[in-house]
Amino acid sequence: MTNSLWTTLKHLAVVQTGVTLSGEGDPSLPEWPYLRVANVQVGFVDLTEVKTLRLAEDAAASFTLKRGDVLMTEGGDIDKLGRGAIWHGEIANALHQNHVFAVRPGARLLPEFLVYWLDGPVARNYFRLTAKKTTNLAATNKWTLGNLPVACPPIEDQRRIVAYLDQQTAEIDTLIEEQQRLIDLLRERRESATRSVLLRGLDSGVPVRHSGSDLLGQIPSAWRLVPTRYLCTITTGGEDSGNASIDGKYPFYVRGREILRSDDYAFDGEAVMTPGDGQGGTGKVFHYFSGKFQAHQRVYVFTDFHGIDGRYFYYYLSTFLQPIALAGSNTVTMESLRRPLLAAFPVAVPPLEEQRKIVKYLDQQASKTDTLITEVRRFIELARERRAALITAAVTGQIDVREAA
């Protein structure tokens, strides 16, 4: 970078470590708000929930945040490690815990420039190489952070670079937000259309009747409302996630969204699966599969379908289990599902031939929507790559921001 001085972060800023939490603290001591890892996000500080601690005033002074501090977490996902968020003094006298670093730039370094530098290739590669890695997580420390290489241009050049990147990245971020809203809209439309077809069918002109369920409302007169226990067998898997095998031959359905692999199988046939509890998947995660597979001991497996198409049941269960079964229960929470509730879950059942037509229609619509979402995601990915390239070019002096402005 032209006119830049290569140095390390410790020569440009003070790296302040935070307070170590120890119990509830002495109730006679002053109470202070403090920031946790959960508060520090990439590029911003989330103040939705700010906790407090009790600490003597002289001790708190060592951990107090100042306006312009760049907050960084000690550990987390490798792609987020080493990225910063600027503290603007939103809360007076706020402290930070020991898993959050407060980097306090000196007179030669703008906080805004540092945040962009942390997004550039030198910093990203540095943290990838120096991080202590465990499964899916990475961590750094004060010494490593202090030795981060920084190409520091004169302060006026930093201001120009920041102003240029603020404008350019804001435009890209707005575009990304618009595309993300498009994805949300596509999903909402698909969900709305799916609910309508599963309660009204493909022919809007057929006679209807009340289903007997206030939550379901009207359904076609020729359809039946049948409890799940009369349509299939409800059982659970018998395996534990710890017995998964990376190179296993068979899919292994567990309590989360991820599908693992197993060396053996317990089921062979058409089935629908949903977790009974755990990992935020209850009432939200559903799988359809036909063939040999393994299932976790807390995953419900619906098999041996009679009078209902298995894939139709998959669409119906995944659409209505959460809003109908869980909303209608005073004893079941989103953290658990019980077999009696599933057995009594009412399904609107059309004639089999109509079920198959509905499944074909929903499969086609899902495929079209998924294709569109994939295209939008690719656009977002390219926009993010463009954003990263701009930051790289600006902070490393590959473009003259005075000419580009």
Complete DSSP assignment for 330-363: SS--TTB--HHHHHH-EEEE--HHHHHHHHHHHH
- Looking at the structure, do residues 192 and 86 belong to the same domain, yes or no? no
Is a pLDDT exceeding 90 seen at residue 303? yes
Q: CA 191: distance to chain centroid?
A: 20
pLDDT in tens, 155-196: 999 999 999 999 999 999 999 999 999 999 999 999 999 999
- Looking at the structure, do residues 36 and 108 belong to the same domain, yes or no? yes
In a domain, 21, yes or no: yes
- Looking at the structure, do residues 120 and 234 belong to the same domain, yes or no? no
For 69, residues 6+ apart whose C-beta sits below 8 A from its C-beta are 16, 86, 87, 102, 103, 104, 111
- Looking at the structure, do residues 336 and 196 belong to the same domain, yes or no? yes
Closest CA to 392 of 1, 9, 69: 1
**Averaged confidence pLDDT in the chain:** 90
Residue 311 identity (one-letter amino acid): R
- Looking at the structure, do residues 208 and 321 belong to the same domain, yes or no? yes
What Rg value do the Cα atoms of the chain yield, rounded? 28
Supply φ then ψ for residue 104, to 5 degrees.
-110, 100
pLDDT in tens, 3-50: 678 999 999 999 999 999 876 678 889 999 999 999 998 889 999 999
Which pLDDT value is given to residue 136? 66
Which domain CATH number covers 288? 3.90.220.20
- Looking at the structure, do residues 342 and 267 belong to the same domain, yes or no? yes
Domains in the chain, number: 2
Give the three-state DSSP class for 268.
Answer: strand
Q: Average pLDDT of 110-121?
A: 92
In a domain, 241, yes or no: yes
Is a pLDDT exceeding 90 seen at residue 87? yes
Q: Give the whole-angstrom CA distance, residue 47 versus residue 44.
A: 9
Which pLDDT value is given to residue 333? 47
- Looking at the structure, do residues 116 and 43 belong to the same domain, yes or no? yes
Closest CA to 82 of 122, 34, 136: 122
In a domain, 22, yes or no: yes
- Looking at the structure, do residues 191 and 256 belong to the same domain, yes or no? yes
Which of the two residues, 276 and 104, has the higher pLDDT score?
104
For 192, residues 6+ apart whose C-beta sits below 8 A from its C-beta are none
pTM: 0.76
Q: Average pLDDT of 383-389?
A: 91
Is a pLDDT exceeding 70 seen at residue 334? no
In a domain, 160, yes or no: no
What domain range includes position 345? Answer: 186-367
- Looking at the structure, do residues 20 and 139 belong to the same domain, yes or no? yes
- Looking at the structure, do residues 285 and 146 belong to the same domain, yes or no? no
